[in-house]
Amino acid sequence: MQMNDKEWKPKIIAFCCNWCSYSGADLAGTNRLSYPAEVKIIRVPCSCRVNPMFILRAFQQGADGVILCGCHPGDCHYSTGNYHTRRRMTLLFSMLNYLGVESARTRVEWVSAAEGARFVSVMDSFVADITKLGPNRRLEDLRCKTN
Interaction of residue 89 with another protein, rule CB under 8 A: no
In the range 55-84, which residues lie near another protein by CB under 8 A? 57-58, 61-63, 77-81, 84
Angle, vertex CA 89, rays to CA 113 and CA 87, nearest 5: 90
Shortest spacing between CB 60 and another protein, in angstroms = 9
In the range 18-57, which residues lie near another protein by CB under 8 A? 18, 22-23, 25-26, 28-30, 32-35, 37, 40-46, 48-54, 57
Q: Are 53 and 92 in contact (CB under 8 A)?
A: no
Interaction of residue 146 with another protein, rule CB under 8 A: yes
Shortest spacing between CB 32 and another protein, in angstroms = 6
Shortest spacing between CB 135 and another protein, in angstroms = 12
65 membership: H or E segment, kind and range = strand 65-70
From CA 109, how far away is CA 68, in angstroms rounded? 6
Shortest spacing between CB 86 and another protein, in angstroms = 12
44 membership: H or E segment, kind and range = strand 39-44
From CA 105, how far away is CA 89, in angstroms rounded? 13
From CA 86, how far away is CA 92, in angstroms rounded? 10
From CA 107, how far away is CA 93, in angstroms rounded? 8
Interaction of residue 101 with another protein, rule CB under 8 A: no
Write out the residues near another protein by the rule CB under 8 A: 11, 13, 18, 22-23, 25-26, 28-30, 32-35, 37, 40-46, 48-54, 57-58, 61-63, 77-81, 84, 88, 144, 146
